[in-house]
Structure 1
Amino acid sequence: MTRRGRSCGTANSIPCRGSVWDYSQDTMAVLMFRMISRSLLCTEHRGLHLTGVRYLLTNHALKFDSFMEKKRSTTHYFQKNKGVYFETIQMKLQNSEAISEKDLKPMFYLCETESDVQLTKTCLLRYYEEAQTVEYKFGPLFLRLCHLLDLVDTAFEVMMDKSFRGVFSDYSSYNILLDMLYKHGQYERALEVLLKMKIQWLRLSKDTYLLAFAICYKLNNPRSLETCTTLFEEAAMNGIIHTRLALCFVVALALKQGDCVTASSVYNRIVKKDLSLCCNLGLLLAAKFKGEEEVLQILETASEQPKFDFLWKVTFSKEVMDAVEEKLHPTVSFEKFKEIYEKLSQSGQISTLTLDEMLHAISEEQNSAADLLQRKSYRSREMQKEVAALNSM
């Protein structure tokens, strides 16, 4: 490996920022392969690199990144001894021997089939029955494993099983299960899990509230609206600051249920409304509960935005625009609406995405400057680690 220009420290140290340096083609190929394979490994089961639709919580929030990294290193460590390891565990169970923390930990990272997970479940129950004190939290690990293998029924049954009381005593476990149930469209089950959280007096995090509001939105009935508003008021008392997406789910549900007071109140809590989703909700709110003048004002303001391609422009859902058109059709403002509609269409500001698809699209909040800077810093540190490892070869 050769370097040109200024460097800091010894010959084997990482070049300082701003220096010009070269690596051989083989070294760069190895480096790039490691970084790309790690990126794909951490997101492969979530499909985020294949579609524009995301699940509500990121891999980072659910700690899938660290889980997949540990899975890779554990699999590499055991290599061909995996079969022997599982046989040893089975023998311990048959002989009624104690399952230690050291025995249990690797299982979560070595499981590949449903039968492996069933064995892990048995060992987990045995461990909690015999252990005097439990310091390590195995609940989130088990649910990440179920999430990875799409074993939603197993995860739900274990969570609701009274035999596993104490295993899932943290909100992280519940967040993972709620995310999994939401992904599979099992909203009634998700509501049961939320109820269990409340019964156990577990603290709900900001992520839990987001999932709860989204579940209530999907159920879309008077009971779910009541649950949603109760949780919203509870969060306000506990000082929880919601994300824009969480607030948007509450507004969307209230609009569907015709609750003008809740929809207006929560919408006014959104500090920054410079997001297409927020603009669509604001337009729908104005069309359903406010006057024609405010609807036209919102649309006119959007149509007068600069037409430069590199500038962000609000995009309205055709579904929302159709609902507005239906409201304005018998009024004198209809012709003005059609004129603005044509103007927005020509500038590419009418989208085929439905409001529901907008709620589940990749959030524009994730592309904020602070978030990009944080990710850039993380990638830079990871790159330095890889370069240091290659230098030591």
Structure 2
Amino acid sequence: MSLIANYLTRTSVYSNLRLILPSRTIYVTQVTNLYSPHALGIDGFLQTRKKAKEQFTNYSEKFRSKMNEFVSSKDTMIFTEDLKNMLHLAEPTDLNLILNMIKKFNSQNSELRFGSYVFGPVVMRMFHFLDAPKEALACFYDPKNDGFFDQLVSYHILLDLLYSHEMYDEMYKVFERAQNKQINMTKFPKYCVVMVLAACYKQNTPKSLEYASKLWSDMASAGTVPVRRACTFFAALALKQGAPHIAMESVSSQRQHYVTIRNIKVMALADMGRVEDTLPILRSVLDIDSPTQRDRHTFFEETMDRVQKAAEKGGNKDVLKQFEDIRKALKDRGLIDGSKTIDLLLNTEIEKPQPGQLPGGQQQFQYKRVQLGPRKKRIV
């Protein structure tokens, strides 16, 4: 199951694992998600799941049997509480039942449903938790569920699940659907844009750069300003694809004090043969008084090597000498970081502080970045 192992190491919610996963064998494999469980609201889902497990300790199998009877009968209804409980009790063997419950619930006369609970995000968190991308897509695209997932956070969670399975082509299709729906009257939902540009970066092909460039151009025409992680994914892809001019332009609106932006600018200038223009950027951090290691404005070793190579290729001895002097000064002050790379920072997990809570578990997202080790997933 996606996210569980990493989550267990960071919270005490699962102090008694048997309450949540009784009699199950768990195998651990590697998985990479872009957003943390907290950022996707999955930590809250797991807390509710724990309570549901405790509440239904001696009743869960009987409840499942009853729900199977309800979905097969024309004379019964699936109530909001039925679906909520089943979602939080769900095991992989329950997925077919849940798919049928969702279809029946969504097809019931809306006049008979008086609650304002928003199911889309909760359902997607369940799919993410159970690591079930195929079932998530089947549910998402089912015509009988039209409108059920019309929340940007539902798209966001689904895209992250697909990303963890390297289902990049499917991500483009989901993103296109989000654009066509224009939920909340936006054609370029910012965190979905981050996800789809992350997919472009991972694919790292001329076609993915073409896709990203068109998306970027469309956003610019609409006056949409992408968030920083979107900028860095696009710029880093352009660097990998030998288009430093695109990389340079894409980060032009970003503040240089961010480590990714600063390093991308220097790399792009070096790749364009403009080594002399990198020197003021490299020299600028020497004038910053940063008392703590965390606040130091650093450059990556890979960035410095890139400039070195470009300087040697350019053949200007004076420029090469200036660069070497700056590199020595940076090294003496501990401002060259050999432990990080652009790729490493782009693949760090996106976290967020305490979110605002919307109806049905929908989250308001505010993100900060934290660097974590490789994430684990658990499979039954």
TM range (shorter): 0.7 to 0.9
- The whole-number CA distance in structure 2 between the counterparts of 1:356 and 1:260 is 16
SS in 1 for 2:226: coil
**In the alignment, which residue of structure 2 is the partner of 1:344?**
330
Partner of 1:189: 170
| RMSD of equivalent CA atoms | 3.2
Counterparts of 1:280 and 1:40 in 2: how far apart (Å)? 42
Of 233, 247, 250, which aligns to 1:263?
A: 247
Q: Under a length normalisation based on structure 1, what TM-score does the superposition of the two structures give?
A: 0.71
Q: Quick one: distance in 2 between partners of 1:177 and 1:110?
A: 20
Match in the other structure for 1:285: 268
Kindly tell me: are residues 148 and 344 of structure 1, through their superposed partners in 2, closer, same or farther at Cα, counting changes over 3 Å? same
**Structure 1's 362 and 343: CA in aligned 2 closer, same or farther, altered over 3 A?**
farther
Identity %: 26
Aligned pair in 2 of structure 1 residues 196, 183: CA closer, same or farther (>3 Å)? same
Q: Which among 338, 341, 344 is matched to residue 354 of structure 1? A: 341
**Residue 37 in structure 1 maps to residue 15 in structure 2:** no
**Residue among 229, 237, 248 paired with 2:232:** 248
**Which of 286, 293, 302 is matched with 2:285 structurally?**
302
2:309 corresponds to 1:323: no
Give the structure with higher Rg (CA): 1
Alignment of 1:1-393 (within 5 A): 37-38=12-13, 55-96=33-74, 97-111=76-90, 113-133=91-111, 136-202=117-183, 203=186, 204-236=188-220, 240-270=224-254, 272-289=255-272, 291-303=274-286, 305-306=288-289, 308-310=291-293, 312-330=295-313, 331=315, 332=317, 333-348=319-334, 349-361=336-348
Shift in alpha-carbon separation, 1:39–1:240, aligned structure 2, 3 A: farther
* Cα 1:230–1:269 shift into 2, 3 Å: same
Helix, strand or coil: the match of 1:104?
helix
Q: Distance in 2 between matches of 1:128 and 1:311?
A: 50
- The amino acid that maps onto 1:212 is V
Provide the rounded CA distance (Å) in 2 between the counterparts of 1:176 and 1:40: 26
* Structure 2 Cα separation of the partners of residues 311 and 98 of structure 1: 57
- Paired residues of 1:344 and 1:350 also in contact (CA < 8 A): no
- In 2, are the aligned partners of 1:57 and 1:207 still within 8 Å (CA)? no
Q: Provide the secondary structure at the position in 1 that maps to 2:55.
A: helix
> Retained in 1: the 8 A contact 2:121–2:149?
yes
Q: Which protein, 1 or 2, shows the higher relative CO under an 8 Å CA cutoff with sep ≥ 6? A: 2
Question: Deviation at 1:282?
Answer: 1.2
Alpha-carbon contact 1:319-1:352 (below 8 Å) kept: no
Provide closer, same or farther for how the CA distance between residues 195 and 300 of structure 1 changes in structure 2, counting only shifts above 3 A: same
- Tell me if the contact between 1:187 and 1:219 (Cα under 8 Å) persists in the aligned partners: yes
Contact 1:280 1:317 in 2 (8 A): yes
Note the C-alpha offset of 1:87.
Answer: 1.5
Q: Residues of 1 paired with 2:42 and 2:223: CA distance?
A: 28
Q: CA deviation at 1:284?
A: 0.7
Q: CA deviation at 1:86?
A: 0.9
Report the Cα distance in structure 1 between the residues aligned to 2:236 and 2:62, rounded to whole angstroms: 53
Supply the distance in 1 between the matched residues of 2:118 and 2:59 (Cα, whole angstroms).
26
Distance in 1, matches of 2:11 and 2:124, equals 26
Which contiguous aligned blocks of 4+ residues in structure 1 show a shift greater than 6 angstroms? none
C-alpha change, 1:39 and 1:253, in structure 2 (3 Å) is farther
Is this contact kept in 2: 1:300–1:340, CA < 8 A? yes
Distance in 2 (alpha carbons) for counterparts of 1:105 and 1:151: 18
Consecutive unaligned residues of structure 2, counting only runs of 5 or more, are 1-9, 21-30, 357-380
CA distance in 1, matches of 2:40, 2:224: 19
Report the secondary structure of 2:118's partner residue: coil
* Alpha carbons 2:34, 2:348 under 8 Å: kept: no
Q: 1:230 to 1:93 in 2, by over 3 A?
A: same
Structure with the larger helix share: 1
Alpha-carbon deviation of 1:239? 5.1
Listed one character per residue, the Cα deviations across residues 27-70 of structure 1 (whole Å, up to 9, x for unaligned) are xxxxxxxx9524989xx9xxxxxxxx984334454222432232
- Report the residue type matching 1:230 in the other structure: K
For residues 118 and 209 of structure 2, the distance between their equivalents in structure 1, rounded to whole angstroms, comes to 34
- CA 1:39–1:329 in 2, change beyond 3 Å: closer, same or farther? farther
Residue type of the partner of 1:105? K
Higher strand share: 2
Change (3 A) 1:36 1:59: closer
Shift of 1:283: 0.8
Shift of 1:306: 4.2
Q: Distance in 1 between matches of 2:62 and 2:294?
A: 59
Shift of 1:142: 1.6
CA distance in 2, matches of 1:242, 1:339: 36
Q: Distance in 1 between matches of 2:221 and 2:51?
A: 43
Q: Distance in 1 between matches of 2:56 and 2:209?
A: 50
Q: Which amino acid aligns with 2:323?
A: F
